[in-house]
Amino acid sequence: MRIAIISRNKNLYSTRRLIEAGEAKGHEMHVLDPLRCYMNINAKEPEIHMRGKELPQFDAVIPRIGASITFYGAAVLRQFEMMGTYPLNESVAISRSRDKLRSLQLLSRKGIGLPVTGFASKPNDIPDLIDMVGGAPLVIKLLEGTQGIGVVLAETRKAAESVIEAFMGLNAHFMVQEYIKEAGGADLRCFVIGDKVIAAMKRQAKPGEFRSNLHRGGSATLVKLSPAERSTAVKAAKTMGLNVAGVDLLRSNHGPLVMEVNSSPGLEGIETATEKDVAAQIISFIEKTAQLHKTRTKGRG
Ligand code: ADP
Ligand code: MG
């Protein structure tokens, strides 16, 4: 197959591993920088161009779109979908998953366990908002943050009020969440492909930190999931419409809670912690599921 990886940098670990795994299985792998792609929207036949030339038809496309370029990256992916190329994850599902609040609303509709979460825009509503999530300590999150940036633990009610007022003053969208203390600064990253968790790791925050992100100094180890954790992760990915997803769970006193669903989960941490060839499993999944002109949305939505 001719497979495109939409990625800004072919030297990133995840991109390199996908190229290696694809080539090992005899596929023609191309890395395309989405910001170098431009599109003819009006043509009868949708086209994508790069450096003055039209791109050839691809059988499948693997989107690895960074959070900072979600808008443009999703537009490029949608154009591939319109051209009939099979996307590993569809553009609509990626756009959905990038908004933490929208994601939680979709997950709650399916009865998936979530930390109690509140959302408000007016300063007058702050006291009730804090009560709604059970008071301090609580977590305040910017809706479009990643890698732990924009996630704050407010230990007291006063601190929570100040941070919320500051975010409101900046017109930033944020949500307020019950703090799952018993998780002990750890979360579970479940790597879902299709209807299976194919690898999982526990990420532990460094001492004095509650955010377990590897980018914030967290460390990762292999973990064995309970059946409830597995089924929650698979259901969460399915609800978001993602074939491949990194589902992050918190272990709470009342079962697994979904914190977020990542549409471009990194491979380095999970392959290192689990010693599994995740890249090869992604390529195998594409081999099984990709058929030209078989995208579900064909770029709609
Ligand atoms: P990001 O998208 O920036 O990674 P997350 O929502 O995943 O944001 O939060 C970052 C980290 O903070 C999580 O990995 C987890 O360790 C911790 N965390 C987030 N929300 C909670 C919560 N409600 N209770 C306890 N810890 C949390
Ligand atoms: Mg996270």
How many Å apart are CA 277 and CA 7, to the nearest integer?
Answer: 20
In 3D space, the residue among 202, 239, 244, 206 whose CA is nearest the CA of residue 222 turns out to be 202
pLDDT digits (tens, 9 = 90+) for 121-160: 888 899 999 999 999 999 999 987 778 888 999 999 999 9
Q: Which residue has its alpha carbon closest to ligand 1 atom 18? A: 211
Same-domain check for residues 160 and 257: no
Same-domain check for residues 203 and 274: yes
CATH number at residue 259: 3.30.470.20
pLDDT at 121: 83
Same-domain check for residues 61 and 121: no
Does residue 294 lie in a domain region?
no
Q: Which residue has its alpha carbon closest to ligand 1 atom 23? A: 179
How many Å apart are CA 277 and CA 24, to the nearest integer?
Answer: 12
Same-domain check for residues 45 and 131: no
Same-domain check for residues 107 and 228: yes
How many Å apart are CA 76 and CA 34, to the nearest integer?
Answer: 6
Same-domain check for residues 204 and 272: yes
pLDDT at 295: 65
Same-domain check for residues 204 and 105: yes
CATH number at residue 32: 3.40.50.20
Residues 6 or more apart from 26 whose CB is under 8 A from it? none
Q: Which residue has its alpha carbon closest to ligand 1 atom 13? A: 211
Residue 145 CB–ligand 1 contact under 6 Å: yes
Instruction: Report the first-to-last Cα separation within the chain, whole angstroms.
Output: 27
Instruction: Kindly give the confidence (pLDDT) of every residue in the chain, 301 residues in length, as a single tens digit, with 9 standing for 90 and above.
Output: 999 999 999 999 999 999 999 999 999 999 999 999 999 887 778 899 999 999 999 999 999 998 889 999 999 999 999 999 999 999 999 999 988 889 999 999 999 999 999 998 888 899 999 999 999 999 999 987 778 888 999 999 999 999 999 999 999 999 999 999 999 999 999 999 999 999 999 999 999 999 999 889 999 999 999 999 999 999 999 999 999 999 999 999 999 999 999 999 999 999 999 999 999 999 999 999 997 556 666 666 6
Same-domain check for residues 255 and 190: yes
CATH number at residue 131: 3.30.1490.20
Residue 139 CB–ligand 1 contact under 6 Å: yes
Does residue 273 lie in a domain region?
yes
Does residue 291 lie in a domain region?
no
Does residue 169 lie in a domain region?
yes
Cβ atoms 171, 164 nearer than 8 A: no
DSSP for 144-211, please give it: T--TTTTEEEE-SHHHHHHHHHHHHHTT--EEEEE--GGGTTEEEEEEEETTEEEEEEEEEPPTT---
- Among candidate residues 139, 162, 179, the one where a domain is terminated: 179
Does residue 84 lie in a domain region?
yes
pLDDT at 139: 96
CB neighbour burial string for 115-138, b if at least 16 within 10 angstroms, e if fewer? bebbbbeeeeebeebbebbeebbb
State the pTM of this model.
0.94
Does residue 211 lie in a domain region?
yes
Residue 187 CB–ligand 1 contact under 6 Å: yes
| One-letter amino acid for residue 76 of the chain | V
Same-domain check for residues 212 and 272: yes
Which numbered ligand comes closest to the C-alpha of 67?
Answer: 1
Residue 174 CB–ligand 1 contact under 6 Å: no
pLDDT at 41: 84
Cβ atoms 244, 282 nearer than 8 A: yes
Place of tokens 């996908």: 18
Residue 118 CB–ligand 1 contact under 6 Å: no
Same-domain check for residues 101 and 200: yes
Same-domain check for residues 106 and 204: yes
pLDDT at 124: 87
Residue 233 CB–ligand 1 contact under 6 Å: no
Which numbered ligand comes closest to the C-alpha of 259?
Answer: 1
pLDDT digits (tens, 9 = 90+) for 17-58: 999 999 999 999 999 999 999 998 877 788 999 999 999 999
How many Å apart are CA 82 and CA 40, to the nearest integer?
Answer: 12
- Among candidate residues 160, 179, 198, the one where a domain is terminated: 179
Same-domain check for residues 51 and 189: no
Does residue 81 lie in a domain region?
yes
User: 259 C-alpha to center of ligand 1: Å?
Assistant: 7
How many Å apart are CA 103 and CA 259, to the nearest integer?
Answer: 10
Q: Which of 98, 213, 215, 253 to mutate to test the pocket of ligand 1 (most atoms within 8 A of CB)?
A: 213
In 3D space, the residue among 281, 224, 232 whose CA is nearest the CA of residue 113 turns out to be 232
Counting the structural domains of the chain, the total is 3
Does residue 263 lie in a domain region?
yes
Task: Find the domain containing 136 and state its range.
Answer: 117-179
The backbone region for 185, taken as left when phi is positive above 0, alpha when psi lies in -120 to 50, beta otherwise, is left
pLDDT at 301: 61
- Among candidate residues 154, 179, 204, the one where a domain is terminated: 179
**Token output for 162:** 């100040």
